[in-house]
């Protein structure tokens, strides 16, 4: 931790042990510590997105009435319907006849919500903006609201889509809201193993995955993927150059534990945005809307948008991670640990 960052950190009580972040895994006990706001005004220098509408969507998606949005639950279906209606209102295009893309697996069945905006200059090149909307449901008779994990990423994708609808992108942008992440990256595995036509893995230039991007107790956002694809780092750093949110690239600790994992397996470049281990409320009853640092979250989404715009503005995005690998659906196994991914 750098000295300037230490000076910005103001925590009244250290969080309980965090076992992992930005994906599934074991849950630490509920944390009751109150985390003081980082003493920085994160208000974006250039604001393109409305703060309150963004927060309103985060609040709606993490409402206790949704019951924690667990895969296969009624609350999960309610959330999906909300997302599908928003895609319709925004005027996104569908692959086929619906925004819904169902999948089946031995770990559970679910339905992704997927739409797109056609590119104005390079319509056969694709950039994916992704987030998972499911969470872990109810535990010990308590609703796990999942505000940071991952209503934060889901709401951000909605508002990035709204901005890009009004400011057409150069490349076709696919907005993927994945189901079943908490059960083992199920929705993203289904999509990556069989993208809807006419998408192929080779045509996906980069995946920007947003998973837990709001609970920035130390005023920073971690980004994975830049160690694998160094050419992405300058665009990332320039995207955050005017932001007061500290960006930490080359953070590859949890690359296999969120929805970029199935794309990484197949050689597709990605940027994975998360707060890493800075969220003290991960998988606890305290991951609620009222505890979200509102301005930090808004500023983070603004910087992610700026990063996207800088990437999309390039006349050439030749940033392949590795030779594209075609892997059969769900042939990556999770055993004995859910988050230890191995190709069969």
The residue ranges of every structural domain in the chain are: 47-343
Is residue 331 within 8 Å of residue 16, measured between CB atoms? no
pLDDT of 28 over the 70 cut: no
* DSSP per residue, 209-259: EE-S-S--TTSEEEEESTTT-GGGHHHHHHHTTT-SSEEE----TTTTSST
Q: How does pLDDT run across 218-272, given as a tens digit for each residue? A: 999 999 999 999 999 999 999 999 999 999 999 999 999 999 999 999 999 999 9
For residue 321, what pLDDT band results from cuts at 50, 70 and 90?
Answer: low
Q: Which pair of structure tokens corresponds to residue 252?
A: 């590859």
Whole-angstrom distance, CA of residue 290 vs CA of residue 158: 20
Q: How does pLDDT run across 101-153, given as a tens digit for each residue? A: 999 999 999 999 999 999 999 999 999 999 999 999 999 999 999 999 999 99
Nearest to 175 by CA among 186, 189, 161, 188: 161
Stretch 22-40: mean pLDDT: 46
Q: Which pair of structure tokens corresponds to residue 117?
A: 């905006």
Q: How does pLDDT run across 77-94, given as a tens digit for each residue? A: 999 999 999 999 999 999
For residue 12, what pLDDT band results from cuts at 50, 70 and 90?
Answer: very low
pLDDT of residue 191: 98
**Phi (first) and psi of residue 302, to 5 degrees:** -60, -40
Whole-angstrom distance, CA of residue 344 vs CA of residue 338: 14
Identify the CATH homologous superfamily for domain 47-343. Answer: Zn peptidases (3.40.630.10)
Whole-angstrom distance, CA of residue 315 vs CA of residue 313: 6
pLDDT of residue 172: 98
320 or 11, greater pLDDT: 320
Q: Which pair of structure tokens corresponds to residue 40?
A: 């920085």
For residue 322, what pLDDT band results from cuts at 50, 70 and 90?
Answer: low
Whole-angstrom distance, CA of residue 81 vs CA of residue 104: 19
Whole-angstrom distance, CA of residue 259 vs CA of residue 242: 28
pLDDT of residue 37: 52
pLDDT of residue 32: 40
pTM of the model: 0.88
**Phi (first) and psi of residue 257, to 5 degrees:** -115, 20
What percent of the chain clears pLDDT 70, i.e. is strictly above it? 84
């Amino acid at each position: 931790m750098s000295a300037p960052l230490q000076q910005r950190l103001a925590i009244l009580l250290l969080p309980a042990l965090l076992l992992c972040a930005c994906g599934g895994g074991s849950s630490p006990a509920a944390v009751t510590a109150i985390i003081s706001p980082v003493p920085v005004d994160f208000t974006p220098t250039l604001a393109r997105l409305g703060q309150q509408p963004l927060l309103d969507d985060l609040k709606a998606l993490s409402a206790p009435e949704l019951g924690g949005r667990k895969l296969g639950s009624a609350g999960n279906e309610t959330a999906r319907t909300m997302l599908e209606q928003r895609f319709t209102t925004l005027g996104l295009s569908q692959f086929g006849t619906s925004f819904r893309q169902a999948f089946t697996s031995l770990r559970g069945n679910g339905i992704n919500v997927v739409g797109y905006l056609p590119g104005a200059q390079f319509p056969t090149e694709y950039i994916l903006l992704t987030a998972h909307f499911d969470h872990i449901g109810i535990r010990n008779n308590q609703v796990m609201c999942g505000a940071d994990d991952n209503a934060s990423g889901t709401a951000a994708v909605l508002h990035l889509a709204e901005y890009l609808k009004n400011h057409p992108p150069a490349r076709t942008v696919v907005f993927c809201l994945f189901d079943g992440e908490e059960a083992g990256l199920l929705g993203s595995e289904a999509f990556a193993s069989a993208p809807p036509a006419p998408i192929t893995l080779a045509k996906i230039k980069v995946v920007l995955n947003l998973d837990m991007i709001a609970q920035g107790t130390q005023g920073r956002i971690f980004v994975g993927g830049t160690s694998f694809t160094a050419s992405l780092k300058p665009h990332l750093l320039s995207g955050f150059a005017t932001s007061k949110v500290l960006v930490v690239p080359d953070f590859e600790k949890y690359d296999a534990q969120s929805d970029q994992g199935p794309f990484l397996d197949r050689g597709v470049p990605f940027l994975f945005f998360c707060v890493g281990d800075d969220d003290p409320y991960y998988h606890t009853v305290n991951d609620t809307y009222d505890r979200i640092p509102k301005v930090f979250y808004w500023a983070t989404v603004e910087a992610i948008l700026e990063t996207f715009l800088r990437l999309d503005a390039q006349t050439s995005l030749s940033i392949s991670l590795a030779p594209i690998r075609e892997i059969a659906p769900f042939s990556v196994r999770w055993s004995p640990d859910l988050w230890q991914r191995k190709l069969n």
